Amino acid sequence: MTSERRAISGLAGLYATRMLGLFMVLPVLALYAEDLAGATPLLVGLALGAYGLTQAIFQIPFGLLSDRIGRKVVIAGGLLLFALGSVIAAEADSIATVIVGRCLQGSGAVAGAIMALLADQTREEIRTAAMATIGLSIGVAFAIAMVVGPLMAAQFGLTSVFWLTAVLALASLLVLWRLVPAAPRVARHQDVGLDRQQLRITLTSSSLLRLDFSIFALHTILTAAFVAVPFRLVNVGIEAASQGWVYLAVMGLAFVGMVPLVIVAEKRRRMKSTFIGAVAGMTLVLLALGELGHQRWTLIGLLWAFFVAFNLLEATLPSMISKLAPAGAKGTAMGVYSTSQFLGAFLGGVLGGALSQRFGYDAVFLGGALLGAVWLAVIWKMPAPRHLSSEIVTLDEHPADALDTLMARFADVAGVEDVLVVPEERVAYLKVDRQRLDAEALARVAGTRHDSRGA
């Protein structure tokens, strides 16, 4: 449908544009903030990670607010906060003002509202592909930001990065109101939004908590690393103006190196061993960066290995969340997961700044390696995730008074491992083993066709 395509392309572009503005600062802030009044490594690290704290605080409240007053209004307000924070940071002449700007950028935490609007705009049978499109757009935005940020800052200064971010945020407002069609309704979607009834289950699952800690540790390490990596590149003779091209080559080759590992994890069902191997590999790379990364090609090679592990973990962790979350609890699980990610970005900036100020840049990598070792201990005895997929079955052919009787019938279908029927949404959320699933029996129970949610 044309309206769905417009919604998917518009919201994916909006999400990617917003993330592009956040990511562009990552490889350049530590290098260029030294000229700001009051700048110290600790405060620069705080500026780098400050957006994560306000993102973590506001993302769930903004998502709930969008249920009450409308998605577009909340998204527009978040984009205006993001633009205002960018302008404040662009005009800053002190590190304290940059920190204020970064906090305001993060307070425009509209990721949940964007995903909910996407769910409002799309049918169940295409929603998985729609969300995958947004996920892909984030990855592309990160890669572009790693190149554009250093090139912009080298040519026009750090302020140009923040000004471009503000312009992109305002352009996103035009996309929101002109390209994204009005939603037919505001509805609750348990596979997208937070459900308070599922929150207790999510917070008491040891496997999900291990994954929450994993994304927390991953983004702590990433943000801390960018307190030190730009200076390490300068020390081996790669000036700020050229660092964007180094990131382009490293990120491109890292993507090539990551793809076969994702295939092994998903297709050959080696998710746990691939996961542990990636964490162990990242820990060793961080250790090597702290002890050995003082020669140009050694440093570049280690950065490539770091981003192979990072990209692999960034791609597989959401898949593992989807496999482990109970039926109907994926949205809640992802909300906790995203909050953990943003808190990790905040702590990473503070930790990286504190370590570099007190002990030097080598200590940042060694501190990351220590966190990696703790991470390995946390996940070592984690049960291997079962290779279950999420499915959603529409129930619009059933009268409302029959919906509460369907759960047992769904559970009796071969290959269905978990089920949650949500009468108000007129859908059933299932966790299924595709190799055993009796699709015909499932369709007979539902009285309608079912839709793959892939995980």
Structural domains in the chain, sorted by start: 1-186 (1.20.1250.20), 196-386 (1.20.1250.20), 389-452 (3.30.70.100)
Determine the Cα–Cα distance for residues 22 and 149; give it in Å rounded to an integer.
10
Q: How far is C-alpha 67 from the chain's CA centre?
A: 22
One DSSP character per residue, 334-380 reads HHHHHHHHHHHHHHHHHHHHHHHHHH-HHHHHHHHHHHHHHHHHHHT
Q: What pLDDT does residue 231 have?
A: 93
Determine the Cα–Cα distance for residues 188 and 388; give it in Å rounded to an integer.
24
Q: What pLDDT does residue 131 have?
A: 74
Q: What pLDDT does residue 407 have?
A: 74
SS3 of 81, please? Answer: helix
Among candidates 340, 337, 342, which has minimal Cα distance to 53?
A: 342
Among candidates 164, 169, 6, which has minimal Cα distance to 75?
A: 169
Statement: the pTM of the whole predicted model exceeds 0.75:
yes
Look-up: residue for tokens 């592990």? 309
The pLDDT averaged over each successive group of 10 residues in the chain (455 residues) is: 77 84 90 89 94 90 82 90 95 94 91 80 69 79 89 91 93 85 64 69 86 95 95 92 90 89 81 92 95 89 95 86 76 85 95 94 95 95 78 63 67 78 73 78 66 45
Determine the Cα–Cα distance for residues 192 and 273; give it in Å rounded to an integer.
28
| 391 phi, psi to nearest 5 deg | -130, 150
Q: How many other C-beta atoms can be found within 10 angstroms of the C-beta atom of residue 255?
A: 15
